[in-house]
Amino acid sequence: MNAFTTRIAEINDILSAVNLLQWDARVMMPAGGAATRGQQIATLKAKARAMLLDTATEDAAEALLAKPADERERRAAEAVLAARKWHLSVPPELLRRQDEISIIAGRAWQTARAKGDFALFRPHLAEIVSLARQMADAIGYDAHPYDPMVQIYEPGETAASLKALFDDLREGIKPILAAALERAKPRTDFLYRDYPVEQQKALCAELAEVLGLDFTRSRLDTAVHPFEISFTRQDVRITSRWNPNYLPMSIFGTMHETGHALYEQGVDPALTRTAHTTDLIGLYAVGGSSFGMHESQSRLFENHIGRSADFWALHFGRLKAHFPDQLADVSEEEFVKAVNRTEPGLIRVEADELTYDLHIMLRVRIEMALMDGSLAVDDVPAAWNAAMRDDLGIDVPHDGLGCLQDVHWSSGYIGSFPTYTIGNVTAAQIMARLDETDPQLRDAARAGDLAPLRQKLGEIVWSHGRSKGRQAVLSAIGAEAGDCNAYLTYLQRKFA
């Protein structure tokens, strides 16, 4: 290893330890550990940042950039130099406070969510928004303070580009949604029966393996809000949550996180502990090129595969074997129709495919308004509730089922919500192109063999880690970022 690769490998090691502390904070840590855990994470990230900003790192990156062995080395050196420039613009005390507050706010959010009381979380959100504004000012922007925040998670996107995408999507989804809501409702009573948690866990572990998750390099645990996190491709953790009286939550939540994990496990081993498996701006160990590209893989496996009739033609028997009494009077067709029903609801992670993006648009409007000051933190619940009525025709009974339902704001992830819709759009683009160029992949999946699909996704997406951005991945398959036509066509065929 040369000086450059050694330095970046050491930074990645520190950030993998940060990820482990983050995983523990959400899965195992007692509530009393929040304040000191935030300090621990802040200290480790400060160490990683100091190594990045060391002149020795700059010298090594510039030397590599002068004579790169290949395109990957060139992009690695450019990524390091760009991250140095970004971090030099942001005061270190600001970054440290963001890291500290994320754990404290996370615990406060859990309590507030359980009690349905926004007031318990309000002061923490106020500080998180203030810190985000300070960061935007430090980085600088031309048009909107949301721009530098969203670019942390999805390089190249801005408030303006998101508005254009969302406007196109909203207009395209509205007639499909209207037509779907006019149809007779499928039977759904059986989804709400008694489903013991341990049996759900066993089923979901099996389904994750069916999709291709390697449990010698992974594990499935429980969290308030499901997530995936990696400490290199050799250790990729997923979580789910278990509602004993609503089966789809655990099934499709697990499939979603499995899609994320497959991406991380599929990164080229040669990229382990390199700049291509390290987010040097956000300071995380991660192999996906962007949040939106990561979401494309989770939504692909959750929806395009996991909710398909083809999948359940093969695995409905497995489901009934775990819950023979609960599903004794349910047919395969009834189950597929039920989990693909269109039914506006309160909870984003339980939303059907047609209303899901309306949930995202709501959150993004609120984030943008918080960033530009047109919405006060105190007014978030009222703004949320009004948007739910306007967009979905639903009254929110309490904040726990409203503005407190997601973990993202407590984690400081202002700017990350748009990536879910970007993921939906990108997943549809990828699958549409593969259906054109490699129709045998769909045939193999229908026969129960997902290995060819995983191999192809590995070639065009996973193996590159962060060495290729979303736009470059899409360009390589003849698609264009921001084009929602493939997604709207998919929704039209499935729902209208």
H-run or E-run covering 222:
strand 218-222
> What does residue 454 show for φ and ψ, rounded to 5 degrees?
-60, -40
For the chain, the maximum distance between any two Cα atoms, rounded to a whole number of angstroms, is: 68
DSSP state at residue 379? G
d(CA 71, CA 417): 31
- Catalytic site residue 353? no
List, as one string, the DSSP characters of 282-322.
Answer: TTEE--SS-HHHHHHHHHIIIIIITTSHHHHHHHHHHHHHH
Binding-site positions read 256, 260, 295
Beta bridge partners, 240, equal: 222
Residue in the structure block whose two tokens are 């979901």:
204
SS3 242: coil
Catalytic residue among 228, 257, 264, 302: 257
In the chain, the amino acid numbered 230 is S
Phi-psi region of 121 (alpha: psi -120 to 50; beta: other; left: phi over 0): alpha
List, as one string, the DSSP characters of 334-353.
Answer: HHHHHHT-----S-GGG--H
Among 253, 245, 249, 211, which residue's Cα sits nearest to residue 228? 253
The answer to whether the Cα torsion of 152, 158, 163, 166 is positive or negative is negative
Among 251, 249, 214, which residue's Cα sits nearest to residue 234? 214
Query: What length is written for the chain?
Result: 496
> What does residue 345 show for φ and ψ, rounded to 5 degrees?
-140, 180
Binding-site positions for Zn(2+) read 256, 260, 295
Taking the CA of residue 193 as centre, how many other CA atoms within 13 Å lie in the half-sphere pointing to its CB? 15
Distances (CA, A) of 420 to 209, 321, 381, 424: 24, 33, 22, 6
Which residues are the active-site residues?
257
